[in-house]
């Protein structure tokens, strides 16, 4: 029987999310450099999207790989739809950049040159700068169809140049067409020269210039004896997905990854981006020379890789760079207070980046030096480079503690870092458990196991988080972390680690939701309970905060809940397959999204439960992979104080009147209208709320 429900296409929904990121660059209430940074984030997101998602669809469309989810024809149609939407968005990006950002910079006395033509008072400077700082690192490579074809590196900027040999002057002019053109490509010297060059000030104005425009202004010095006709930016995006045998043993998996990570940079072309001003015959030559498929062509701007805008210098003292609130250190956990002692009395809830990640480092440090600590167990999905977490775990091992770390090698784009840190920890005596065949461990949990000095039973401690053990992202992403000594939770976290070590042995959980063990069944049951309560006239309601909602089974359950009269409030940052506002199906579902200074990353589930609300903190989005093919952990908040705290924060998020946008059935991304309600910018309001709680117990 055909499914009666409709869904947004996952990738189109993601593009809508990324467009919300771009739209933040239009918000004149934000500091100018924060607006510029949103253009950078948008561009970086899009790059990764092409490397992974579009590359996958193209592989199916070409017949290179098979998929249970889409046919060759549907993959082709989806790629075409993606490219149409991306081209539309890129037109908007050009408009926002040229008509909003550049004039705003100029208004603040920052002149950002956008081509090779500069004011007379800068001409000598850029010539000298080019000769001294850039020229030594340039290596023009000829391109000759079927004769000389250079390899274009992934995501590097190149200049494609067309020129003609100069002719000696004769009485009759030589027609351009009679001289065969020559083609060159030249990689920009990424590592040697900054992308943006600060030029000398003039009067009250500061000046900036793209390094490629300085190169373009001096092409005659690179090609003496030639007439340079034109020069355009190009770049290649390559398939970055690593296809590995997921059923392989840990040792084989390590070997596979070491080999295949090195080949990521030489993957198949999934996108050829070029300056849309390039003449057709010039583009045709490059397409033939580099064996580019037409469906891989993406017209771009004059300046590509705008993700580099996050490095744009700010020479103006009047323009303040965006300042984020400083993470709070809890007064209840000052230098004199033992975290162990505090958590032994009551659960502790941290909310990054509002709270300092140093509390967790302090927690680990205390475990290292506590004589009653016998074992530390941690999952590693993504960690920072030169990680304080890893360094503290190594110190624990050197201090005689038993340390076990589960390292997920299949964390995309973190494979190399995870391999390196795993080998470093192993050398320090830490027990390393690598990826599980057929499963990815995405749970963010830690366990401090303790025993009294005389063998008496004393509390152990568990740490359950929605985010990674990563001090860098803990300053950028919103994530909850629960620290507890409650035996109901700590005993089950120990079972999670047993499950990770022996994933095919039977295991049960009474308090935790653990994918793929019981999550789907229990989530269905909790939604069904809300449906039954609504039908029986009992209080009902579902509130969810997720990065992504695309699992059709769970979406269908939410549709059924809405049809039964259950009010459903969703805060979805990214992909959302559920279509709100469908008559008779999703009229009781409201979906909003917040894009602001911090990346909304925490996953929180809340069910009305007949008036006795249940609140869960989870590492899992509602995606099929998270529910059925990954080890994920969701923990209930058993402490009424902490449950209420999360509900208060939910209230701020769902009542945002500044940054919240509707996810409606048209994917219009319009702001939630404020009307006569008070102004609430949730992220700032949450900081103030948590600060107000900062008083000693």
Q: Which residues are catalytic?
A: 442
353 upstream amide cis, omega within 30 of 0: yes
Token pair for 424: 């470093």
Query: What is the Cα–Cα distance from 545 to 556, expressed in whole angstroms?
Result: 17
Query: What is the Cα–Cα distance from 21 to 529, expressed in whole angstroms?
Result: 36
Query: What is the Cα–Cα distance from 85 to 653, expressed in whole angstroms?
Result: 29
Query: What is the Cα–Cα distance from 215 to 88, expressed in whole angstroms?
Result: 30
CB atoms within 10 A of CB 537: 8
What CA–CA distances, in Å, run from 284 to 161, 179, 280, 290, 297?
14, 19, 6, 10, 11
Count helices and strands in the chain by DSSP H and E runs: 20, 26
Q: Provide the 3-class DSSP secondary structure of residue 417.
A: helix
Q: Using an 8 Å Cβ cutoff, are 156 and 243 in contact?
A: no
Phi-psi region of 444 (alpha: psi -120 to 50; beta: other; left: phi over 0): beta
The string of DSSP codes covering 390-416 is HHHHHHHHHTT-EEEEEE-TTSTT-HH
Q: Using an 8 Å Cβ cutoff, are 641 and 569 in contact?
A: no
Partnered with residue 140 across adjacent β-strands are none
φ and ψ at residue 146, rounded to 5 degrees: 70, 5
Handedness of CA 22, 24, 30, 34 (dihedral sign): negative
Partnered with residue 477 across adjacent β-strands are 599
Query: What is the Cα–Cα distance from 327 to 474, expressed in whole angstroms?
Result: 10
């Amino acid at each position: 029987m055909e499914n009666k429900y409709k869904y947004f296409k996952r990738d189109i929904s993601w593009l809508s999310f990324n467009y919300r990121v771009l739209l933040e660059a239009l918000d004149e209430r934000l500091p100018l450099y924060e607006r510029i940074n949103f253009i950078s984030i948008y561009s970086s997101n899009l790059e990764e999207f092409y490397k992974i998602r579009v590359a996958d669809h193209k592989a199916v469309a070409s017949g290179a790989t098979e998929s249970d989810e889409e046919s060759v024809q549907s993959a082709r149609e989806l790629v075409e739809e993606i490219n149409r939407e991306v081209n539309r968005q890129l037109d908007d990006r050009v408009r926002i950049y040229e008509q909003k950002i550049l004039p705003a910079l100029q208004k603040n006395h920052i002149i950002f040159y956008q081509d090779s033509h500069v004011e007379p008072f800068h001409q000598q400077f850029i010539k000298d700068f080019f000769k001294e700082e850039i020229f030594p690192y340039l290596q023009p490579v000829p391109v000759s169809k079927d004769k000389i074809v250079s390899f274009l590196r992934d995501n590097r900027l190149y200049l494609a140049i067309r020129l003609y040999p100069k002719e000696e002057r004769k009485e009759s002019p030589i027609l351009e067409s009679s001289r065969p053109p020559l083609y060159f490509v030249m990689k920009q010297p990424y590592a040697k020269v900054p992308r943006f060059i600060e030029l000398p000030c003039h009067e009250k104005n500061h000046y900036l210039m793209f390094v490629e425009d300085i190169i373009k202004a001096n092409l005659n010095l690179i090609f003496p004896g030639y007439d340079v006709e034109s020069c355009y930016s190009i770049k290649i995006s390559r398939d970055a997905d690593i296809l590995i045998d997921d059923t392989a043993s840990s040792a084989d998996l390590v070997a596979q990854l070491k080999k295949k990570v090195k080949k990521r940079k030489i993957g198949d072309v999934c996108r050829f981006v070029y300056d849309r001003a390039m003449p057709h015959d010039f583009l045709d030559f490059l397409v033939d020379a580099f064996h580019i498929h037409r469906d891989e062509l993406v017209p771009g701007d004059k300046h590509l890789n705008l993700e580099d805008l996050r490095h744009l210098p700010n020479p103006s003292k009047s323009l303040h760079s965006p300042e984020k609130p400083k993470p709070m250190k809890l007064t209840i956990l000052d230098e004199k207070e033992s975290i162990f002692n505090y958590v032994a009395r009551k659960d502790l809830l941290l909310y990054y980046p509002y709270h300092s990640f140093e509390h967790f480092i302090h927690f680990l440090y205390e475990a290292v030096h506590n004589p009653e600590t016998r074992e530390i167990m941690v999952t590693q999905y993504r960690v920072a480079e030169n990680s304080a977490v890893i360094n503290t775990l190594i110190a624990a091992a050197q201090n005689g503690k038993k340390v076990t770390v589960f390292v997920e090698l299949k964390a995309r784009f973190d494979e190399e870092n995870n391999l390196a840190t795993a080998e470093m920890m192993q050398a320090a005596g830490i027990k390393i458990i690598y990826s599980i065949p057929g499963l990815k461990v995405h749970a963010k949990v830690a366990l401090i196991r303790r025993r009294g000095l005389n063998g008496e039973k004393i509390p152990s401690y568990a740490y359950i988080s929605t985010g990674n053990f990563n001090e860098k992202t803990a300053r950028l992403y919103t994530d909850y972390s629960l620290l507890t000594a409650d035996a109901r939770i700590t005993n089950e976290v120990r079972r999670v680690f047993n499950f990770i070590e022996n994933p095919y042995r039977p295991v049960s959980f009474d308090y935790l939701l653990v994918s793929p063990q019981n999550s789907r069944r229990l989530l269905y049951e909790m939604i069904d309970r809300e449906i039954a309560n609504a039908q029986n006239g009992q209080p009902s309601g579902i509130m969810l905060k997720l990065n992504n909602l695309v699992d059709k089974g769970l979406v269908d359950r939410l549709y059924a809940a809405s049809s039964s009269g259950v009010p459903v409030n969703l805060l979805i940052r990214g992909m959302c397959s559920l279509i709100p506002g469908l008559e008779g199906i999703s009229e009781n579902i409201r979906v909003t999204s917040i894009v602001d200074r911090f990346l909304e990353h925490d996953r929180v589930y809340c069910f009305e439960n007949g008036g006795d609300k249940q609140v869960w903190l989870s590492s899992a989005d509602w995606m099929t992979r998270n529910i059925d093919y990954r080890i994920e952990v969701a923990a209930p908040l058993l402490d009424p104080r902490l449950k209420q705290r999360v509900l208060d924060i939910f209230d701020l998020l769902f009542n945002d009147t500044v940054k919240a946008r509707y996810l409606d059935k048209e994917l219009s991304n319009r702001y939630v209208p404020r009307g006569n309600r008070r102004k609430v910018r949730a992220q700032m309001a949450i900081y103030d709320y948590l600060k107000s709680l900062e008083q000693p117990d």
